[in-house]
Structure 1
Amino acid sequence: MRFYIITIFFLIFGLNFGCAQRFGYIDTDFILNKMPEYKKAQEEINQLSQAWEKEIQEMSKKRDEMYSAFQAEQVLLTETMKKERTEALQKKETELKEYQKKVFGFGGLFFLKKQELIKPIQDKVWDAVDKVCKENSLAIMFDKAGELVMIYTDPRYDYTDFVLDQLGLGDPNDKIKN
């Protein structure tokens, strides 16, 4: 964390002591939540996630039922039958873990679908941020929704409304701009 603060300090103040760097900040969470296409994408992602969770729960339930049946019948089974049932249980467990990884693991279906739906929306926001930065001659734009902790922010440097205007989502009654 200290490294990031030092890096930001040098970006703002240290690279060119002769001319001040103009900077601003935005709140991407606020911007994204104002975008109807983002809300729609989030709803689709949530529905898919719930459907996949339900499938995993059903697979888990079947595995648990197999295990319960095995436990109940274990005393009546021959060694060969016990071995077969144990292998079947292990196979079910492996299938379940593989499916969970396929869906929710890194690079899994959930990750890919989320990227497919959200990336175009984020690109739209980044394009708007780029335009706002160029129009306002800003050298640096921070995101207060990100991991960078901003202890204090002066509203004069908040460009969130400008980005919303650029996206066509601004409040027409908002008369106060920097």
Structure 2
Amino acid sequence: MRHHHVSLSGVVLLSLMAAGCAQEGESPGEVSGNVARAALIGADQTEYGEVIIAQGDNGLLVNITGKGLSPGPHGVHIHETGKCEGPDFKSAGGHWNPAGKAHGLDNPQGAHAGDFFNLDIGPDGAGALEATVAGGTLRDGDKALLDADGAAFVVHEGPDDLKTDPSGDSGGRIACGIFVGGR
């Protein structure tokens, strides 16, 4: 089993920033300070969890929480366009890939900045994953997530094989969340 490792200080930073982001009346998909969050919504408007991304000292800290999903591994990725039009969420475009790499954390030519290990969902339909995007930023530089058209986060129906371009043979897109912003 593989995991992205985040230092304890990174987890504490992400938790504190996420708590400060969730203000009364604020809707998912909004950016507050150094934190962006997106609700993961299916084509039928079912909520399948949330993604919170915070700016850390050395990159982006990512916290993915899934709920109501089928048990087993699911490919999860940041996509290049902040659009989630059902039923297939193809409007989110390809994976966020500012460095022009190939797909997959096991690909010697990869990986996209938006590639992660699989989100493992338990028998209760829930799961969580914490990861980092080294060198990534929310708004500034060549690896800025929130460019003029924002970004999206997609959950796929099956596992990502971590090497096959362009999406790890992870199947259809079953949930999508939008990060809005702009420089």
* TM-score of the pair, normalised by structure 2: 0.22
- RCO greater where, 1 or 2, for CA within 8 Å and sep 6 or more? 1
Q: Which has the larger radius of gyration?
A: 1
* TM-score of the pair, normalised by structure 1: 0.22
Task: Kindly indicate which of the two structures has a greater share of residues assigned to helix.
Answer: 1
Task: Kindly indicate which of the two structures has a greater share of residues assigned to strand.
Answer: 2
